[in-house]
Structure 1
Amino acid sequence: MLLRLASIALAVVVSAVLLPASAAAVLNVTATVAFQEVYTPLFGSHNIRRSADDRTVSILLDRSTGSGFISSSMYHHGFFSASIKLPSDYTAGVVVAFYTSNAHVYEKRHDELDFEFLGNIRGKPWRVQTNVYGNGSVSRGREERYVLPFDPTTEFHRYSILWTRDAVAFYVDDVPVRHVSRSRAAGDFPSKPMALYATVWDGSNWATSGGRYRVNYHYGPFVASFTDLALAGCRVDQLMLPAAQAGCAEAVEASDPAVMTLGKLQAMRRFRERNMVYSYCYDTRRYPVPFAECDLVESERKMFKESGQLRTIAHRRRRAGRRTARDAGGAKADM
């Protein structure tokens, strides 16, 4: 068994002292940190507001600029999480992003794991989009889009990205909403160290109905707030020995978010059935040949158009009604 460092601490430089091989690595995915411990402003510094205790940070989009922050270090695998509250009212064209990337280092071969929150006109819900890029696969975006089963503007909700050597998972309030296996994603799986970003910016050209609705700064400034900042990852450091890096990667793989229990898989399926409104797996216009990691389900296929878009909300409600009746019947039979 590989030796590991005495402590795999949350976003801190890891000691070069090694423990015996029998010592078990532990990764604390629930510990939170102050902003200055792990982050630095990326752009729009005057639009970044930090709380007195430095545990909550708000980023603003106004007529002058958007804003954002970036982790002070890069990481090779880890669990990256924050509780986020989104702007309310008219937010068409506004994009809030929480993601990992190395585009600033590998311009044409970059990796990226995205949560992108897409604003909307008044009365219409925010949508959240996840994406996976590996080795510059920008022409093969793996977008999935969901509506959320809650109002993300009234209180904080937790969004998390898990990245191990073998899989990527996205979580919303500790419920997995997407899981991508390295063995099936092949060469498009993220493989190089990445930094963690949070940004808010003007995506008028595409974010809402393909650019039909643009940002209206009359309703600004648009404020996205982040708290419960958690970054439990394998920090890339010149002093870190290969054995320590491997030990950290093993700790990530052994962490609770990486263990996909039956209960988690069932919760993920329910979320996707009820909330997914676009899937690249069913977008036969862009991708006539499905990706290797796509699990095509005939009952799901009928819900989506050739464009990968959900046919109608009513279609989903009818299907959900049948499922509820079926589940109720099964419950009675078990009594």
Structure 2
Amino acid sequence: MVFMDWNSRFIIIFLVVNLSLDVVAAQQDENVSFWQNYGLPWGTAHVQVLDQNTQVQLTLDQYTGSVGFKSLQTFGSGWFSMKIKMPHKDSTGVITTFYLLSEEKWDEVDFEPLGGNGKERPYVVHTNLITNSETRREQQFHLWFDPTADFHNYTILWNSHQLVM
């Protein structure tokens, strides 16, 4: 049994760390500007907002350790989904993280698509559930699809009755 404080308020964070990578995160509602919902707390020189402010491209290079964005609002529950496309080139060592993080204590729910090259190092999605600073559950999934071929949805459903990833 995992005990979580269902009254926690979470922010959404998307972070890319390590090596060179291009990731595009598309918003569901194309009429809403990226800037209405998200801020850039770090790595602003490596963030490009595209397609009339409905998509964002994050780029790492040999000088950048991480780049990301976070929600401007906090959420007590909801359906959180992000479309992510991994790069075609070798991205071994790249960690792309889409997660919910509580502001009061360290409660975290996340997807971590781990880079690879598709052959010797397959792409993997790592999931975490952390409550009160303790890891409660970690799992890794070897993907049955090519995450570089197209955008794929990574979704978290969070409410007072359930947590579904």
Q: TM-score range by the shorter chain?
A: 0.7 to 0.9
1:116 paired residue number: 112
Q: Deviations over 1:101-149 (max 9, x none)?
A: 02xx33xx31111000111246232100111111222xx3411110122
Whether 2:155 is the aligned partner of 1:165: answer no
Distance in 2 separating the partners of 1:166 and 1:134: 16
User: Which residue in the other structure is 1:71 paired with?
Assistant: 71
Instruction: Please list the CA deviations of residues 195-250 of structure 1 after superposition, one character each: whole Å capped at 9, or x if unmatched.
Output: xxxxxxxxxxxxxxxxxxxxxxxxxxxxxxxxxxxxxxxxxxxxxxxxxxxxxxxx
**Equivalent residue for 2:82?**
82
2:132 pairs, out of 135, 155, 161, with: 135
Q: Partner of 2:9 in structure 1?
A: none
Confirm or deny that 1:94 pairs with 2:94: yes
Q: 1:36 and 1:121 mapped to 2: Cα distance?
A: 33
Q: TM-score, normalised by structure 2?
A: 0.75
Residue 92 of structure 2 aligns with an amino acid whose one-letter code is A
Q: Is the 8 A contact 1:98 1:115 kept in 2?
A: yes
Match of residue 44 from structure 2: 45
Distance verdict in 2 for CA 1:45–1:67, change over 3 Å: same
Point out the structure with the larger strand share.
Answer: 2
Alignment of structure 1 residues 239-254 onto 2, 5 Å = none
C-alpha displacement of 1:88: 2.1
**Does the 8 A contact of 1:111 with 1:134 survive in 2?**
yes
Distance (whole Å) between structure 2 residues aligned to residue 54 and residue 86 of structure 1: 21
3-state DSSP of counterpart to 2:76: strand
Structure possessing the higher radius of gyration over alpha carbons: 1
Q: Which runs of 5+ in 1 are unaligned?
A: 1-29, 171-335
Tell me, in whole angstroms, the C-alpha distance in 1 between the residues paired with 2:148 and 2:117. 14
2: CA distance, partners of 1:128 / 1:166: 25
Q: Report which of the two has the higher share of helix.
A: 1
SS across alignment from 1:46: helix
- Do the aligned residues in 2 keep the contact of 1:97 with 1:115 (CA within 8 Å)? yes
Amino acid at match of 1:159: Y
TM-superposed deviation, 1:34:
2.6
Q: What is the Cα-based RMSD across aligned positions, in Å?
A: 1.6
Q: What is the TM-score with the length of structure 1 in the denominator?
A: 0.38
Q: Which amino acid aligns with 1:53?
A: Q
Give me the whole-angstrom Cα distance separating, in 2, the residues matched to 1:47 and 1:31: 24
- Give the count of matched residue pairs: 135
Q: Please give the alpha-carbon distance, in whole angstroms, between the structure 2 residues aligned to 1:110 and 1:131.
A: 12
1:125 aligns with 2:108: no
User: Percent identity over the alignment?
Assistant: 34
8 Å CA contact 1:90, 1:120 repeated in 2: yes
What 5-or-longer segments of structure 2 have no aligned partner?
1-27
SS at match of 1:101: strand
Partner of 2:139: 144
* CA contact 1:91–1:122 (8 Å) conserved in 2: no
> What CA distance in whole angstroms lies between the structure 1 residues aligned with 2:154 and 2:118?
24
For residue 56 of structure 1, report the CA deviation from its aligned partner.
1.0
How far apart are 1:160 and its partner, in Å?
0.8
Measure, in 1, the Cα distance between the counterparts of 2:73 and 2:93.
30
